[in-house]
Amino acid sequence: MADQIILQPDEDMTFWDKHRLSLLLILSVLIALTLTVVSMVAYNASGTAQLDLSRPGVSSVSDKVDRTDKITEYSGFGAVNKDSINEFTKLYDAQAEKAKAVDAFNGDPLNPEILEFGITANE
Amino acid sequence: MIRALSTLAVVAALTVLFGLSAQTAHAQSTSLTSEQIDHIRSNCTTIKSTLNQLHASDALLRVNRGQVYESMASKLMGPFNSRLSNNRLDARATSAVTTSYRTALDAFRSNYKSYEEKLSSAIRIDCFNQPELFYNTIEQARINRAKVHDDVLKLHRSIDDYRSAVGDFLLNFERISE
C-alpha cells in the first residue's frame, strides 16, 4: 500500500506546529551563542589567552616561539641502577642549564623613571 | 554607662576601619601633580609604544620559558619519581621538591596572568584623558611583574634543590649497593 501524505488543515495546527522551523533556528542560534560565551570565558579564565600569540598586539612575535627545543622524556619504567641515574642526571643537567640560562622578567621596565613619566620612584 | 561604652567601642572600630581603608587606598593609588599629569600627556604615545613592545616581548618570554619549566616537571622530575616508586625506592625527598616546584609553577602561571591582564588594561586606557588611572594601572602591573620574577627565582631554586636531592639519592643508593 502506497504511503499517503495527509495534509492537516491550517486551523488544526498548534502554535508549535506553525513555527517549528523558526523555533529550531532560534534555538540553534541560542545554543551556539551560549557555547561561544562559555568557550570565551574558559579561554580567558584559564590563562590560555595569555599563551595565544595570535592575538592582536602580540602576533608580531609568534614566529619567534622556540620550537626546536625538544627535550627527551625520561622513562618512568625500568630498573634503577647507577647507569640509569647517571643517564637521568645528564638529561636533567642539560635541561636545568637551559631553564636557568634566562633570568626571565628581571629588571624593572615599568619603573616610572624608565617610562619617562617625569616621576621619580620615591615620589 | 553601658550605652556610652558601646558607643565608644563603635566609634573606635569605625576609626580603625576608616584608617585601614584610607591606608589601603593610599597604597593602591598615587595622586599626581599637574606637572606630572602634563608630562604623561605629552609622552602618552611614546609610553604606549613602550608598553606594547614590552607586552609582546613578555608574552613570547612567557611561552618559551613556560615550555621549558613545564617540561622539567612533566618529562624529567615526574618520570624519575615514578621510576623510583616503581622500584620501591625512597622517592620522598625528590617528590617533595617536585611538589614545591609545581606550586611555584602554578604561582608563575597565575601571577603572569594577573600581570598580563593589568598591562593589557593599561594599554587600553586613554592616557591623555585618564593619566592618573593610567599611571596607577602601570604601577599595579609593575608590582605583578616583580611577583612573576620572584616565581622564576623560586623555580630556579627548586631546580637546584631537585638536583641536590637526586645527588643525595645516588650517594645513598651507591652506599646500599656496595
Q: Are residues B25 and B110 in the same domain?
A: no
The distance of A15 to chain B (nearest Cα, Å) reads: 49
Residue B131, classified by CB atoms within 10 Å of its CB into exposed (0-12), middle (13-18) or buried (19+), is buried
Cβ contact B94:B80 at 8 Å:
yes
Question: What pLDDT, in 10s, does the model give residues B72-106?
Answer: 999 999 999 999 999 999 999 999 999 999 999 99
Burial (CB count within 10 angstroms: exposed 0-12, middle 13-18, buried 19+), residue A16 = exposed
Query: What range does the domain containing B8 cover?
Result: 1-30
Same domain, B24 and B43: no
Least confident range of A80-89, A101-110, A114-123 = A114-123
pLDDT at residue A5, rounded to an integer: 75
Half-sphere exposure of A86 (CA within 13 A, CB side): 4
Chain B environment of A45 (Cβ under 8 Å): none
Q: What is the mean pLDDT of residues B55-67?
A: 95
Residues B132 and B109 in one domain: yes
Percent of chain B past pLDDT 90, that is, above it, reads: 71
Cβ–Cβ contact A61 with B under 8 A? yes
Domain extents in chain A: 78-123
A18-41 pLDDT per residue, tens: 899 999 999 999 999 999 999 999
- Cell 599637574: give the residue: B34
DSSP chain B: -HHHHHHHHHHHHHHHHHHHHHHHHHHH-----HHHHHHHHHTHHHHHHHHHHHHHHHHHHHHHHHHHHHHIIIIIIHHHHHHHHHTT---HHHHHHHHHHHHHHHHHHHHHHHHHHHHHHHHHS-TTT-HHHHHHHHHHHHHHHHHHHHHHHHHHHHHHHHHHHHHHHHHHHHHHH-
A119 at interface of B, judged by CB pairs closer than 8 A: yes
Same domain, B166 and B82: yes
Chain A contact present for B134, CB below 8 A: no
**Domain match, B89 and B101 both:** yes
B2 & B63 share domain? no
* Mean pLDDT value across residues A107-120: 79
Q: For the whole model, what pTM was predicted? A: 0.80
Residue B25 shares a structural domain with residue B38? no
Closest by Cα among A61, A69, A8, A17 to B69: A69
Domains contained in chain B, number: 2
